[in-house]
A and B are shown apart, each in its own frame.
Chain A
Amino acid sequence: MSAPARSDLAAAPADPVGPPPPGRPARRRRLRPGALPVAVIVILLVLPSLIVVPMSVSPGEILRFPPDGFSLDWYRTLFTEPQWTSAMLNSLQVALATTVLAVLIGAPAGLALGIREWRGRGLLLGLVLTPVVAPPVVVAIGMYTTYAQVELIGRWGLIAAHTVLAVPFVVVTVMSAARQIDPTWLDAARSLGASPLRVALTVLVPLAGKGIASGALFAFITSWDEVVVSLYLTDPGFKTLPVQMWNQLRERVDPTVAAVASVMLLITTSAMVAALVIGWRRDGAARENG
């Protein structure tokens, strides 16, 4: 055995299964040496976020780490005091409404952008993605001044604004799922007796469903932890959780904020994990169907 040891990268082209099907990049799950720095970065980003969890169970009045005991008092405050409970309900309401609206707008757009090539496609895609590229403060000021003109402030203003911010995420995830849809499937379904609506229900939704689901989760998260635009568009009678947190932090720093942060972190992380799992399963199914 005199063959020199080869690195993973060098061995990669010698794939015994043959080349991957066209249009789909080959993926490997094996850990590479490069995984180490990635892990370090992830830890550096994740640990500071996680530090709020121990801080939230500290019995004292002041935010401290490490905690000097264990107490769920701050969670009790969070779930009993009206200012927090109403903020949580408001956030949930806005996030759910945003999700529904963003999917209704973004999913058809993503399908249209992903399935066929057409003139003006690039332009529309650019337009749809603007809210992601523009600095949040700029977007917030712009939205505030325009929405104030039509008195679209508070609950509905926030839902409208968050929908604008969330649509691009739905469009992008649905678009990538729609890339796997062959336009002749749509013609085939029509010729076999399906009206456009039934084509959508029997072909498009099943094939792009997972893309739509992960888009919905991204939309939910976008609204759930959005703070900049919300600061402008909420009013004293209608606050979302991040806004309430922000106000609280400026007045008095106590571990309630850490408890809120932990709850937000839990919900956001669950949604992200769900979106990722859906994505993995979609890719897996696509490989199997290849």
Chain B
Amino acid sequence: MVQPERTAETPTTRAVGVSLRSVSKSYGATAVVRDLDLEVAPGEFVSMLGPSGSGKTTTLKMIAGFEQPGAGSVHFDGRDVTDLPPERRDVGVVFQNYSLFPHLDVGANVAFPLRMRRVPGQERAERVQRALEMVDLGGYERRRVAQLSGGQQQRVAIARAIVFEPRLLLMDEPLGALDRRLREAMQLEIKSLHERLGVTVVYVTHDQEEALTMSDRVVLFRDGAIEQHGSPREVYERPSTAFAADFLGDSLSISARLLPGGLLEVPGLPAQRFPLGTGMPVGPVRLMWRPHAVEVTAPSGLPAEFSADRLRIPVEVLAGGYAGDVTRLRVRFAWGDEGVVATPSRGIDHRRGSSVDLHLSLASAVLLPVQS
């Protein structure tokens, strides 16, 4: 069997589209994944993000074939693969604990999928060498796995998962065991690998920053269902629920109330016409801003003010965290709401108990339903 010659630089075009249709999975009486629908386009980099126990890893396992859905089906390019065993799905998987075989050296680990596919020895050696070079481990073939650092082991695991040119690459918190700096470097490497290979990637993480940095699309899981999905910018700047807003990063939100006639009432202030269409029923809502959308100034000493589409509200500083260029402040409104804002570090008194003015633009606010 002759494989088409392919160098590390030429991207493969064998990316596969994945779709999950009404997939459910329970362990005993516990529903882990509930009636989930998900489409992943060929070549797309999709992150499945969520707290532990939200069903993201179980979903990944069902795509890999390690777990069978209790109901629903899994399709690759429209073909039903629900009953296809993992070894016949042609999917590369990278695990959090690397899962390299301890009885094989680095070269034999990377050669494993090629041996399973009966790739002849000469070609096998070349492809192993190329795959190791792609992860900057050229010449490591004879090393023992135990001699490598965690970061190196994870690179070997990645080389092993891509050497057979799979149609789909699944990664289950692959950087979870690495320290922060290594993790950030590896994020960019995985991203560039994705671009070079053109392969579809489904990436599981509980780290929102990682998901936002790497993905074409973020799928946020909650209690076995998809809470929201969209581009990193969409899900971060336009979360559709308070859970999505909180999980994707710090935010500042205030309780408000929608009144009939498109009016918005903020505690202690006269109602104003809300400039954006809301599509939300009359009643309590939350107004949410990301830290970068809030302007912080020294206290003016004036009472809160709601005019046109701008709010100016004095708040109390609960805690300040200096982080180099910016200082993050945890603040409290007079009526009790708390939140986080970020401001350039210069000229702001961020001691506990001091007071600052927040300038909030309604145009950059996100209106969230209040959870019952």
Task: List residues of A whose CB falls within 8 A of some B CB.
Answer: 182, 184-185, 187-195, 198, 202-203, 206-207, 288-290
Contact = CB atoms under 8 A, between A and B. Distances in A.
Contacts of A188: 93, 95, 99, 101
Nearest to A190: B86
B87 A187 contact: no
B306 interface: no
B160 interface: yes
B68 to A, nearest CB: 13
B146 interface: yes
Nearest to A203: B101
B66 A187 contact: yes
B91 interface: yes
A192 B164 contact: yes
B113 A193 contact: yes
B145 to A, nearest CB: 8
9 contacts: A185-B101, A187-B95, A188-B95, A190-B86, A191-B93, A191-B170, A193-B113, A194-B87, A194-B116
B103 A187 contact: no
Given A192-B112, A193-B113, A288 B64 contact: no
Interface string B120-150: 0000000000000000000000001110000
Contact of B85 (A184, A192, A195, A289): A195
Contacts of A203: 101, 103
B278 to A, nearest CB: 47
B152 interface: no
Interface residues of B, number: 29
Q: Is the interface of B mostly helix, strand, loop or mixed?
A: mixed
Contacts of A184: 95, 97, 99
Nearest to A290: B146
Contacts of B336: none
A174 to B, nearest CB: 16
Contacts of B93: 187-188, 191
Interface string B77-101: 0000000011101111101010101
A283 B95 CA distance: 26
Nearest to B88: A193
A288 B99 contact: no
Contacts of B87: 190-195
A202 B87 CA distance: 14
B85 to A, nearest CB: 7
B324 interface: no
B103 A190 contact: no
B310 to A, nearest CB: 54
B127 to A, nearest CB: 14
Given A187-B66, A290-B146, A192 B99 contact: no
A202 B61 CA distance: 22
Contacts of A194: 87, 112, 116
The interface centre, meaning the residue of A185, A187, A192, A289 with most chain B CB atoms within 10 A of its CB, is: A192
Contacts of B103: 203, 206-207, 289
Interface string B331-369: 000000000000000000000000000000000000000
B65 interface: yes
B181 interface: no
